[in-house]
Amino acid sequence: MKPTSKEASGRELPFSSFPHSEPIHHFHTKTDEEIWMALNAGSELAFNYLYRIHIGLMFRYGCQISTDKGLVKDCIQNVFIQLRKKRGDLTNVKNCKAYLFTCLKNEIRKKIRESNRVYVGVKEEEGFPISLSHEAILIQKEQECEKVQQVQEALNQLTTRQRQALLLLYVEGMSYQEIAQAMDFNEVKSARKLVYRALSSIRVLLKK
């Protein structure tokens, strides 16, 4: 299906042909590999399903890479436009969310380079903000902090990569294998090591 003019501008994708519940009902029991195979075979329902399920998560993740919400929205649309164009030639994917996060990260970086903007991941001092709701999840998981303020101060002293790994683990609920894929690690143990070091640093900082 040829993208419309709105698709080309990265503003909107045409999903009016399906009721909201139809893609969800059809694919919610399918594995990621089955959904991806259906997408690659040209299924509009699979395309709609992936968009509806992941667009909110992708936006939240993208906003941790760039504070330009308009840019993030455009990049998300571009990712799905490219998926539609490449149907029939897509590589095998076992985890849709990790793959889409990786595509979004790469797309945002590309757009920032093209517009000569500063990518927050380039400079560690720029930070990788995590909102209070994210901090609350971290507190619940680790049970090592009494106040959100203390966690925020500790998080601010971590590296960008450490903060990103914690976001993917505790907020997005990714496994270490998925984190390794999203962060371009060659081995899962690299993701585990990064998270372990981040949590160790937080423990030390909180004790202080």
Encode pLDDT of 155-180 as tens digits.
888 887 888 888 888 878 888 988 88
Report the alpha-carbon distance of residue 129 to residue 65 in Å, rounded. 9
DSSP state string for 138-184 = HHHHH---S-HHHHHHHHHTS-HHHHHHHIIIIIS---HHHHHHHTT
Both tokens assigned to 145? 């902090």
DSSP code, position 186: S
Encode pLDDT of 7-48 as tens digits.
434 444 444 444 455 556 677 778 889 999 999 998 888 898
Q: Are 79 and 61 in contact (CB under 8 A)?
A: no
Long-range interactions of 10-17: CB distance < 8 A, separation 24+? 10/73, 10/74, 10/75, 10/77, 10/78, 10/81, 11/74, 11/77, 12/77, 13/51, 13/77, 13/80, 13/81, 15/48, 15/51, 15/52, 17/44
Domains in the chain (CATH in brackets) are 5-114 (1.10.1740), 126-207 (1.10.10.10)
| Angle between helices 44-62 and 96-114 in degrees, nearest 10 | 60
pTM for the model stands at 0.62
Question: For the residues 67-76, what does the mean pLDDT come to?
Answer: 90
